[in-house]
């Protein structure tokens, strides 16, 4: 048992009070003198050439201070990678989806800004549009980007072993296709940006983000100003889930308006804009062919996935790869082939999302259940036979240092009463299991590591300076706990300065699941550096060797002689009196293969750790209405080490809400010629607190050898495995394997009708 004083303890998050009292400030709350209101003019067409934009009348309107179009930009295009730079933040050639940004205004108030938008005249030449990814690949389909034949934006091809030989050797082979439409993040905070320039040409900007340094660089490129003059400021952020991973056109437009007016500008998106003009999760069509031996062990698997990417590349190579990687990390496979296609369509842009593809993850596990039934194997047992273990290499050659996948399966099954319930529940009651994995980071080049600084203040408190972002998942609290533990302080003694590009060092951001593993590691190393200096000063006063000293509870003790002690506050002041300020620096870069690349070389060590999760859901289906009632959910995840169990339990519950309750039962978009017909929370049904079932959480600790205190990612694996478990439970309840998600009442009733007709 580790003798920690802060780490591993249940404690309220350091930001809890500010959020529940309303003191926390989000971007939309910011107010500055002379601040202008920014509004964006959007395309009314899904695909059209821009012939001319006349802003004359808008510019003449009293109260309008600036009007910008693509002609006011440098023409710089955005893409996460050099080979995916295809999006102008204000296009000059044509629009590619309904709602794309065409022009923007800054005015003294909202009414004036909205009136100005109506005065802007845009002449379009409407072009043929395509909204279905399979239709977009047809030879005669409209070309959305001229340089991409068949509108194939990204093709990720991974082939390991001899798949055809594997199928030939298999005892049983089956092939199935699974489908799921787009889904939205619906963060609690709608997108908002505030920007201003000072007299020296420095840009200050506030916006929701998963990594301030990942916003600053593209803003520097697009505005053609030095990177050191772009200051992305710290602000409270109301959720990300993958949807704040990259720069938004709103960031650039707001900054451009502020640059033109030399006044602060604020843009606040409506809920409709937040849906169509930020990012969405990909729609998917996934065909999976799997061959197994007599014991149900996977010998060969062939997966083809078509992803609707919308109009631009966004995080395309990553988004196309991660669903496959999550599968290969969770399950062993001798031979595997993957062809992932991200297709351009005339719909809003798609990006990363926490669940990483319902049609993919649920397809793999649903098919595993089908195979288990055919072979007479229990669904829990077939997963245990295929589960990843520590010491394995994944198919794409990542070494797995820690893995408690089987333990999560066994403990979840025991807690859920699987043996007592499987095959023994009454009609229209079902139970299902899902398993998944997620990587803790991935290669990001020079931006893949994190650096941190710590300085002691003369009152004995310490300030932590880190680039880590907290989008609501508790990263600020994680940094405080680590620093307090290493420095021998209490959490209330730690002051945080985070996520500000002017004062905090480089960090990869929170969207790649690395905040604890890399950012926390950097803070830990910085704290150890500061502690060493602290102990060196104390060793003289206590007449003891540095190695015999311990910092704890605001004191420095001599081991074995607790009466010999000195307050940390006094040691800090002693150092200052001698001209020795106490500070520390730490940096951590993950040990990954720098040659690994998403498309050209998807092989090599991806990250240093993987998390593994299992969810079991029990449901009841009303055969008359198709309505699903979730009776119980058990969620277990291998988190390495639980730095704060209270925070992890909240992450597990949120993951079940997003991946299972919402992602599998209610959340989807429907469309009419490129127009999303349910862009707000009135029609897009997010689960509310009263909708949630009882959730039992199980924290499994594998103590990863590379993570800080053994910790690694926590929460993502539950989101994906919850989707799988919900799907499996409903299928079990109605006796029909569902292949289209989410599983809404109409689909359930249709499945039951088809089942009855098949029996007749």
Say how far apart CA 292 and CA 370 lie, in whole Å: 12
Q: What is the mean pLDDT of the chain?
A: 96
Q: Evaluate whether 731 touches 540 at the Cβ level (below 8 Å).
A: no
In a shared domain, residues 552 and 634? no
pLDDT recorded at residue 245: 86
| Per-residue buried b or exposed e for 83-108, using 16+ beta carbons within 10 Å of the residue's own CB | ebbbbbbbbeebbbbbbbbbbbbbbb
In a shared domain, residues 293 and 307? yes
pLDDT average, residue stretch 314-321: 95
pLDDT recorded at residue 405: 98
End-of-domain residue from the set 588, 612, 637: 588
DSSP-assigned beta bridge partners for residue 697 = 635
DSSP-assigned beta bridge partners for residue 729 = none
166 within some domain: no
pLDDT recorded at residue 1: 45
Residues near 204 by Cβ (< 8 Å), separated by ≥ 6? 195, 196, 197, 198, 231, 233
Please spell the DSSP secondary structure of 366-389, one letter per residue: HHHHHHHHHHT--HHHHHHHHB--
Q: Evaluate whether 213 touches 505 at the Cβ level (below 8 Å).
A: no
668 within some domain: yes
What are the Cα distances from residue 459, in Å, to 495, 576, 584?
Answer: 12, 11, 17
In a shared domain, residues 439 and 315? yes
Say how far apart CA 445 and CA 431 lie, in whole Å: 44
603 within some domain: yes
State both tokens at 757.
């007709």
Residues near 71 by Cβ (< 8 Å), separated by ≥ 6? 53, 92
**pTM flag (> 0.75):** yes
The label of the residue with tokens 């800004």 reads 113
Say how far apart CA 92 and CA 74 lie, in whole Å: 11
The model's confidence at residue 444, banded by pLDDT at 50, 70 and 90, is: confident
* Widest CA span in the chain: 92
In a shared domain, residues 648 and 705? yes
In degrees and rounded to multiples of 5, residue 617 shows phi and psi of -120, 145
Full 3-state SS string of 438-482:
EECCCCCHHHCCEEEEEEECCCCCEEEEECCCCCCCCHHHHHHHH
Say how far apart CA 702 and CA 402 lie, in whole Å: 6
Residues in the chain: 760
pLDDT in tens, 107-166: 999 999 999 999 999 999 999 999 999 999 999 999 999 999 999 999 999 999 999 999
CATH number at residue 648: 3.30.365.10
Say how far apart CA 330 and CA 389 lie, in whole Å: 9
End-of-domain residue from the set 588, 615, 631: 588
DSSP, collapsed to helix, strand or coil, labels residue 532 as helix
The model's confidence at residue 562, banded by pLDDT at 50, 70 and 90, is: confident
pLDDT average, residue stretch 92-102: 98
In a shared domain, residues 618 and 557? no
End-of-domain residue from the set 588, 619, 652: 588
Closest CA to 708 of 647, 760, 643: 643
137 within some domain: no
Q: Evaluate whether 560 touches 574 at the Cβ level (below 8 Å).
A: no
Q: Evaluate whether 674 touches 136 at the Cβ level (below 8 Å).
A: no
Q: Evaluate whether 604 touches 596 at the Cβ level (below 8 Å).
A: yes
Say how far apart CA 153 and CA 308 lie, in whole Å: 10
State both tokens at 601.
């070389």
Say how far apart CA 151 and CA 53 lie, in whole Å: 28
Question: Sign (positive/negative) of CA torsion 539, 544, 549, 555?
Answer: negative
Q: Evaluate whether 54 touches 64 at the Cβ level (below 8 Å).
A: no
Percent above pLDDT 70 for the chain: 100
What are the Cα distances from residue 455, in Å, to 295, 485, 745?
Answer: 58, 15, 57
To 5 degrees, how large is the angle CA 323–CA 324–CA 330? Answer: 95
In a shared domain, residues 467 and 569? yes
In a shared domain, residues 438 and 496? no
Work out how many domains the chain is built from and give that number: 3
In a shared domain, residues 307 and 419? yes
What are the Cα distances from residue 244, in Å, to 212, 237, 241, 343, 354?
Answer: 10, 10, 7, 22, 11
8 within some domain: no
Using left for φ > 0, alpha for ψ between -120 and 50, and beta otherwise, residue 50 falls in beta
pLDDT recorded at residue 311: 98
In a shared domain, residues 699 and 657? yes
State both tokens at 438.
């997620």
Q: Evaluate whether 674 touches 131 at the Cβ level (below 8 Å).
A: yes
pLDDT recorded at residue 50: 98
Burial degree of 590 (CB within 10 A; 0-12, 13-18, 19+): buried
In a shared domain, residues 470 and 436? no
Closest CA to 155 of 320, 372, 363, 10: 320
pLDDT average, residue stretch 646-669: 96
| Per-residue buried b or exposed e for 286-323, using 16+ beta carbons within 10 Å of the residue's own CB | bbbbbbbeeebbbbbbbbebbbbbbbbbbbbbbbbbbb
| Per-residue buried b or exposed e for 517-530, using 16+ beta carbons within 10 Å of the residue's own CB | bbbbbbbbbbbebb
Burial degree of 203 (CB within 10 A; 0-12, 13-18, 19+): buried
The label of the residue with tokens 């001319």 reads 52
DSSP-assigned beta bridge partners for residue 497 = 465
Closest CA to 263 of 592, 536, 43, 37: 37
Say how far apart CA 360 and CA 355 lie, in whole Å: 10
In a shared domain, residues 580 and 453? yes
611 within some domain: yes
The dihedral over CA atoms of 424, 425, 427, 432, expressed in degrees to the nearest 10, equals -110
477 within some domain: yes
CATH number at residue 72: 3.90.1170.50
Closest CA to 272 of 739, 636, 760, 681: 681
The label of the residue with tokens 């040409």 reads 201
pLDDT recorded at residue 511: 78
Domain that holds residue 120: 31-127+189-238+244-276
Cα radius of gyration (the chain): 27
DSSP, collapsed to helix, strand or coil, labels residue 270 as coil
Is the pLDDT reported for residue 484 higher than 50? yes
In a shared domain, residues 309 and 193? no
pLDDT average, residue stretch 380-402: 98
Q: Evaluate whether 43 touches 99 at the Cβ level (below 8 Å).
A: yes
145 within some domain: no
pLDDT in tens, 48-78: 999 999 999 999 999 999 999 999 999 999 9
Is the pLDDT reported for residue 591 higher than 50? yes
């Amino acid at each position: 048992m580790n003798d920690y004083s802060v780490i591993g303890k249940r404690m309220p998050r350091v930001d809890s009070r500010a959020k529940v009292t309303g003191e926390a400030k989000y971007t939309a709350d910011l107010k500055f003198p002379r601040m202008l209101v920014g509004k964006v003019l959007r395309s009314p067409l899904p695909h059209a050439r821009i012939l001319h934009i006349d802003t004359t009348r808008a510019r003449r309107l009293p109260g309008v201070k600036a009007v910008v179009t693509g002609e006011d930009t440098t023409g710089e295009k955005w893409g996460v990678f050099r080979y995916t730079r295809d999006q102008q933040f204000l296009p000059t050639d044509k629009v590619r989806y309904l709602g794309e940004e065409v022009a923007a205004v800054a005015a003294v108030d909202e009414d004036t800004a909205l009136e100005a938008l109506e005065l802007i005249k845009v002449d379009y030449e409407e072009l043929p549009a395509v909204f279905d990814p399979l239709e977009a690949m047809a030879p005669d389909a409209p070309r959305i980007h001229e340089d991409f034949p068949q509108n194939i934006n990204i093709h990720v091809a991974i082939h390991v072993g001899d798949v055809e030989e594997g199928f030939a050797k298999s005892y049983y082979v089956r092939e199935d296709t699974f489908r799921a439409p787009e889904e939205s993040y619906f963060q609690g905070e709608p997108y908002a940006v505030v920007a201003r320039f000072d007299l020296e040409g420095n840009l200050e900007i506030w916006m929701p983000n998963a990594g301030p340094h990942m916003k600053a660089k593209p803003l520097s490129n697009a505005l053609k100003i030095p990177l050191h003059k772009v200051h992305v400021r710290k602000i409270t952020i109301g959720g990300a889930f993958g949807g704040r991973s990259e720069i938004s056109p709103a960031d650039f437009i707001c900054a451009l308006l502020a640059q033109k007016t030399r006044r602060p500008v604020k843009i606040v998106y409506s809920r409709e804009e937040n849906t169509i003009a930020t990012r969405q999760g990909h729609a998917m069509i996934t065909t999976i062919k799997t061959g197994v031996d007599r014991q149900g062990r996977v010998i060969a698997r062939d997966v083809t996935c078509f992803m609707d990417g919308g109009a631009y590349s966004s995080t395309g190579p990553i988004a196309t790869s991660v669903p496959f990687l999550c599968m290969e990390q969770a399950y062993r496979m001798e031979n595997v082939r993957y062809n992932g296609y991200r297709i351009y369509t005339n719909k809003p842009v798609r990006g990363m999302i926490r669940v990483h593809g319902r049609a993919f993850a649920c397809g793999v596990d649903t098919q595993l259940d089908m195979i288990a039934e055919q072979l007479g194997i229990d669904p829990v047992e077939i997963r245990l036979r295929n589960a990843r273990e520590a010491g394995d290499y994944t198919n794409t050659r990542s070494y797995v240092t820690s893995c408690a996948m089987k333990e999560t399966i066994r403990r979840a099954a025991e807690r859920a009463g699987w043996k007592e319930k499987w095959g023994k529940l009454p009609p229209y009651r079902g139970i299902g299991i899902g398993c998944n994995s997620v990587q803790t980071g991935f290669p990001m080049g020079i931006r893949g590591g994190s650096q941190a600084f710590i300085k002691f203040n003369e009152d004995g408190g310490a300030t932590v300076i880190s680039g880590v972002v907290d989008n609501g998942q508790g990263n600020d609290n994680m940094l405080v706990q680590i620093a307090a533990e290493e420095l021998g302080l209490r959490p209330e003694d730690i002051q945080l300065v985070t996520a500000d590009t002017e004062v905090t060092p480089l960090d990869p951001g929170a969207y790649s699941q690395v905040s604890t593993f890399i950012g926390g590691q950097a803070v830990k190393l910085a704290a150890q550096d500061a502690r060493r200096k602290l102990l060196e000063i104390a060793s003289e006063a206590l007449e003891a060797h540095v190695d015999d000293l311990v910092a704890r509870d605001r004191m420095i003790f001599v081991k074995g002689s607790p009466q010999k002690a000195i307050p940390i506050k006094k040691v800090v002041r002693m150092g200052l009196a001698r001209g020795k300020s106490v500070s520390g620096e730490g940096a951590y870069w993950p040990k990954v293969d720098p040659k690994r690349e998403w498309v050209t070389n998807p092989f090599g060590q991806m990250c240093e750790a993987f998390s593994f999760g299992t969810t079991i859901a029990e449901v009841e289906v009303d055969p008359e209405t198709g309505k699903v009632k979730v009776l119980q959910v058990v969620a277990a995840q291998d988190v390495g080490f639980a730095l704060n169990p209270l925070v992890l339990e909240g992450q597990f519950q949120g993951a079940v809400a997003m991946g299972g309750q919402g992602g599998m039962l209610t959340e989807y978009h429907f469309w009419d010629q490129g127009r999303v017909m349910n862009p707000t929370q009135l029609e897009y049904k997010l689960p509310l607190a009263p909708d949630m079932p009882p959730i039992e959480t199980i924290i499994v600790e594998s103590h990863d050898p590379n993570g800080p205190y053994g910790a690694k990612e926590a929460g993502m694996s539950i989101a994906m495995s919850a989707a799988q478990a919900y799907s499996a439970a409903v299928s079990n309840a109605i006796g029909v394997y569902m292949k289209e998600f989410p599983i809404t009442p109409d689909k359930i009733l249709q499945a039951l009708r088809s089942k009855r007709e098949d029996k007749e």
